[in-house]
Structures are given as C-alpha cells and as structure tokens.
Amino acid sequence: MKHNPGIGATDELSLRVSVATLVRVVFPTEHNNRMLALERKATFHGREERRIVWAQPFGGAVRIDNSSLLNKITDGFHFDGERSRAERDFRILIRPSDWEPVKQFCLEHLGNPNDTYIEPAPYRELVEEFAETIHVNLQSDQYDFQPMGFVIENNPVRTDNAEICGQLTVRLYRIFEARIVDETLCKRMLAASQLYSDRDLGLLAQKDFQNGGRGRANSILTLPLNIVTESYLALAPEMRYRKIVIENHELDESVLAVLEGIDVPQYQRL
C-alpha cells in the first residue's frame, strides 16, 4: 500500500463500497445429483446472549494490493474500519459521486488475472476457508475453476455488518465457479455438512467467546443445487432478495449472486 487511508465515514465519504469474490462451489454425489456447498457461519453476541447461524457462498472481500490508483480516482478514500485497513479489504468509504469510476476500476482490474492493484481471484480465500471449515488442504487438481461474470448492486442498502451497521452500501461481486472433481473430497464435504447442526455450531461460537475468542465458528453446508434454485424461483422476483430458510438452514441473500437463471431487481449481472 502506497497510502495510509483513514477510517470511518465522514460527511463527504458517506457511501460504503464492498467488493468481494464469491465462489459457487458445486460437486456431484455418487447418484450424480449436483450439490451446492456453502460456508456455514455462527456468531455469538455476548451482550445479548444471542447465537446467529447462517450460510453464505465461499469467498470474501477483495484485497487491495496497491491503493495509489484507487486513491487518485477517489481523491482520497477511507476504510470502513480498523480491521479492513489492517487486512487491506476492499470495504471502503467514498463520495457517492465517485461510485461510477470506482465501479469501472473494479470491473477492469478484477477482469485482469495478473492485476497488481487488487487481488483478482479467490484462490487464497478458498484454500483458507476449506482449511477452516473441513480441515482440508485444498489442492488445485481437486477442482476445476472458472470465472462466471460480475454481479453489481448499484442501489445502496444499509449494511448489517456489526462494525459499521446501518451504513449505506453498494456492492460488486466477481463470481467464480469451483467444481470439485475429487471423489474423496466430495464425500468428505457431505459428511462434514452433517457433523454439526446449526445449534451445535452456535454453541461452538458461544464456547469460543467464553474462552476469550471473538465468538465465531464455521463449518460447511451442502444442499441439492436444484432445491436451492427452485426455492428462490418459487418467489416473485421482488421478494427474492432476502435471507431464506431451506431445509431449516438460513441462507444469506448473497447466495443469490452465485445462482444462475434467477433475476432480481437489485442485481445487474455482467
């Protein structure tokens, strides 16, 4: 990083931009059913004594490797928090008028596999998350990987991110597909999905908090892809952009971004 941007919203820097790579992880069963794998996450809020469990696509915030060009485009930006700045996550605050040039910057540089300004692909994130969720050191020969396009949320919505809750946010996702081809890994993913109930995972997050941690736990969730798709398609387009419960598991609205053939007014797909 050639600059050290500030932190937090100001009167001018009032629009939060969240840029992430999301991965549609799919794999076949022995009966050739196509499954969707999601990261299942649990948090424990100690103050309210409350456990929250949900599932979302694999992936995460894009990392900013060199902020000089982005800083020039925005004439100065802030990170949304200390953690984002420390980890160089593309979760920033800009002037609302800068959204279009920032969006074009993201489309151009995320489309370049050798980009030096931002991390263009989620290989690192995917390997880390497989290690965390099912304790597997994911190898490149265990999956086929391909880019699938972009999803953009141009209309700001208030984020429920705990560190900056309520801040108006626009989002841009770079979508990839990882098709698991290793039969042993496919079976391990199915088994790991059944290892913990949502309640079990919530209790693990609570135990982590009580032991001095951040109150976090995660695992994997596998669901038949056709059931997930049909559950969203059963809703009217204007009702799809929300959390949804499938087979007693809550799915984050970002799951929509990695599904094909499901239109929602909030998404521009490129």
Most confident of 46-50, 113-117, 131-135: 131-135
pLDDT in tens, 131-151: 999 999 999 999 999 999 999
Could you identify the residue written with the tokens 């004594």?
A: 49
Average pLDDT over the chain, rounded to an integer: 90
CA distances from 34 to 93, 222, 228, 248, 270 (A): 39, 10, 11, 20, 25
Phi–psi pair at 93, nearest 5 degrees: -115, 130
In percent, how much of the chain has pLDDT > 90?
65
pLDDT of residue 6: 83
Where helices occur in 143-236 by DSSP H, the ranges are 183-193, 198-210, 225-233
- Lowest-confidence range among 39-53, 105-119, 136-150? 39-53
What letter would DSSP give residue 63?
Answer: B
Show the tokens assigned to 104.
């074009």
One-letter amino acid identity for 56? Q
What letter would DSSP give residue 62?
Answer: P
Band of residue 165 on the pLDDT scale cut at 50, 70, 90: low
| Rounded-to-integer distance, Cα 48 and Cα 266, Å | 32
- The average pLDDT across 68-92 equals 90
Sorted by sequence, the CB contacts under 8 Å of residue 108 that are 6+ apart come out as none
Band of residue 50 on the pLDDT scale cut at 50, 70, 90: confident
pLDDT in tens, 14-26: 999 999 999 999 9
pLDDT of residue 162: 59
Sorted by sequence, the CB contacts under 8 Å of residue 229 that are 6+ apart come out as 259, 261, 262
pLDDT in tens, 200-243: 999 999 998 988 888 899 999 999 999 999 999 999 999 999 89
